[in-house]
Amino acid sequence: MEGSRSRRVVAAGVAALLASSAASAADAPARKTPAPGYRAAVVMEASSGEILIQENAHERRPPASMAKMMLMLLVAERVAAGEASWDDQVMVSREAEKMGGSQVYLASGETFTLRELMEAIVIHSANDASVAVAEAMAGSRDAFVDLMNERAQQLGMKDTTYRSPHGLPPGKDQESDLTSAYDLALLAREILKHPQIMQWADTPESTFRKGAFHLVNTNNLVRTTPWVTGLKTGYTREAGFNLTATGERNNLKLITVVMGAPTKRQCDDETARLFNKGFNGFQSLYAVRRGDVVANDVPVANGNPRFVRVVAGGDLSVIAAKGAKRNFSLELALSGDLQAPLPAQAPVGTVIVREDGRQIGQVPALAGDEVQKQPRFWERFF
């Protein structure tokens, strides 16, 4: 059951950027810039993966419940591949029932749909639901953790080692999950490809057990800031307060990660500050847009007409500092000689985008118009 979305629009500066003025020698001594209220942080542009702001980005730290982000991705990918369904029935095990911390109080032998349990995980960070889903997906909790680590390596998350599907503090003779702000941003970028997960991550409130249990999103910014769209919080005494958040303003999508804040309020405030710094300091510039004409007179063998326009088949944008001017050039690389007949929008090669001679990306090249085959002589005669 999806929760109704109600938000209170707040001023753009949930955490206003602090401005300091230099004091003269005759006045009080100059103040030092306050240290950030976190141990590590990253701001990433979601489309390109470009890092805009970072501090201790590769420091390995416990993610706490942000470990569930990998569970969210693996389940979403399995459903997208047709290997699982949101309507699959999941039976709760004894081990899942015993999980503490944030939970929805599952009992051994109960059965819920994968959809119900995932909603409890994404919105409410339910540890018992996490174990139940991990066991259903891989047969055992440990087998699922192996899948988490395998996927982390595939995504290039070199700072990450998972030891649990939920991120709770380790027990006796166990070790903690470890990751970094950079790796969590990589993971969040992949999760953004799955609309159902993001819909739950952007849901302020919902219910469980047919309305008997109230789910409240642990991400406060989802409830207070309209342009924040997710994603996952985490807290343990060792890890501190953590938040991986996604947001969009002015055609710019950002991912922020804050790790090791001393309080939840500071974690939220630092996240908002980093968002504002990213949105106010950077912009998205189109190097080429779908439909842009790359060439007007490309010859078509046996074509009527004999030439065709070639257009860009996709968008390519870059991130630049606000006010910066960038100069791009387009280069057409045909896949071969063009032959009639040629349908409109047929792929004909690649548009290479360069800046100062350096290739920064490419998009497909498409035929801008239809070109029919030139009739042969005897066909024209008759």
Catalytic residue among 68, 130, 206, 317: 68
Residue pair 163/60 in contact by the 8 Å Cβ criterion: no
Measured torsion, CA atoms of residues 80, 81, 86, 87, in degrees rounded to the nearest 10: 140
Q: Is residue 45 part of a domain?
A: yes
98 is catalytic: no
Catalytic residue among 47, 102, 125, 206: 125
* pLDDT for 199: 98
Q: For the segment 53-88, what is each residue's pLDDT rounded down to a tens digit? A: 999 999 999 999 999 999 999 999 999 999 999 999
Instruction: Based on the fold, state whether residues 255 and 375 are members of the same structural domain.
Output: no
Instruction: Based on the fold, state whether residues 105 and 210 are members of the same structural domain.
Output: yes
Q: Which of 249, 282, 315 marks a domain boundary?
A: 282
Residue 2 phi, psi (nearest 5): -85, 140
Q: Is residue 22 part of a domain?
A: no
Q: For the segment 192-207, what is each residue's pLDDT rounded down to a tens digit? A: 999 999 999 999 999 9
- Residue 9 clears pLDDT 60, i.e. is over it: no
329 is catalytic: no
Domain containing 146 equals: 40-282
Q: Is residue 1 part of a domain?
A: no
CATH number at residue 241: 3.40.710.10
102 is catalytic: no
Instruction: Based on the fold, state whether residues 230 and 370 are members of the same structural domain.
Output: no
Most confident of the ranges 148-152, 249-253, 327-331: 148-152
> What confidence category does residue 14 fall into, taking pLDDT thresholds of 50, 70 and 90?
very low
Instruction: Based on the fold, state whether residues 189 and 208 are members of the same structural domain.
Output: yes
Q: How many CB atoms lie within 10 A of CB 244?
A: 27
* pLDDT for 379: 53
Q: Which of 259, 282, 305 marks a domain boundary?
A: 282
Instruction: Based on the fold, state whether residues 209 and 317 are members of the same structural domain.
Output: no
Cα 251-254-255 angle, rounded to 5 deg: 160
Q: Rounded mean pLDDT of 364-376?
A: 91
* pLDDT for 143: 98
Instruction: Based on the fold, state whether residues 257 and 363 are members of the same structural domain.
Output: no
Bridge pairing between strands 347-355 and 358-367: antiparallel
Sign of the CA dihedral 209, 213, 217, 222?
positive
- How many domains is the chain built from? 2
CATH number at residue 318: 2.60.410.10
Q: How many CB atoms lie within 10 A of CB 30?
A: 12
